[in-house]
Amino acid sequence: MLARNPHLTLLSLLLLIPSSVLVQGILCVKYKVTNNAGNTPGGERFNTEIGIPFTLKTAEKINAFIWKLFKQDTAAKRRKLPVLNINITILTDGAWGETGFDTVYIDTGAIQYNFPAGREAGRYEFTSLLYHEMTHIFQWHGNGTAPGGLSEGVAEYVKIKSKYYHPEGYTKPGEGSKWDEGYGVTARFLEYCDSLRPDFTPDFNNKMRYVYKEEYFQDFLGKTVDQIWNEYKAKYAN
């Protein structure tokens, strides 16, 4: 199905300046947003309340945030991605968003039926979802060896750090039945690991560039992940 609006692209020059030191080099990323379901209610709402210009600007901001949080201040530390595509489309599996290699897919059904009413509220929810999905694009997955729950937890961790989430009703520290349960459960566990060692999560992510190994927990924290999980659960038992 053709999009109602033509493709718009943005060439972004992203400068990261951590600790007031200018990073050497500039990485160019090209963003492309396409609404493939412009004649659906959700697609129409995207056009009228969110829009391609807002999405391009937001994607640039999120990209820079992820690189800074993950301490990826040079091109050599980052995933090489010439183009990031964001497709507004119809997903049939009930997901609000999905990713595939260089593309983020956002479901028009979620925009129409799950996003809160109103332009600003809808944009907030869209931005929150984009933080999660774009993290999947730029995080390291150990070439597919990392547990899926860990990958989802890292994406939620980034969303929490961005402040684009709803604290009320969100997973509380100590909840969950296993550390790699995913989403909020794993994100809260990663926050706990950060409390044991500053920057644990960004460093753990970067460690997974080529492969994931459970012993990385031992390397960073001096304990097995099961020991850490049990201590975490005990801390919030009451």
pLDDT digit string, tens, across residues 28-42: 789 999 999 999 999
User: Strand, coil or helix: what is 86?
Assistant: strand
Burial call 158-174: b when 16+ CB within 10 Å, e when fewer: bbbbbebbeeeeebebb
Give pLDDT tens digits for 144-198.
Answer: 999 999 999 999 999 999 999 999 999 999 999 999 999 999 999 999 999 999 9
Placement of tokens 């983020």 in the chain? 104
Q: What are phi and psi of 231, to 5 degrees?
A: -70, -40
The pLDDT value recorded for residue 28 is 73
168 CB-near residues (< 8 Å, 6+ apart): none
| Contact criterion met (CB below 8 Å) for 93 and 228 | no
Give pLDDT tens digits for 97-121.
Answer: 999 999 999 999 999 999 999 999 9
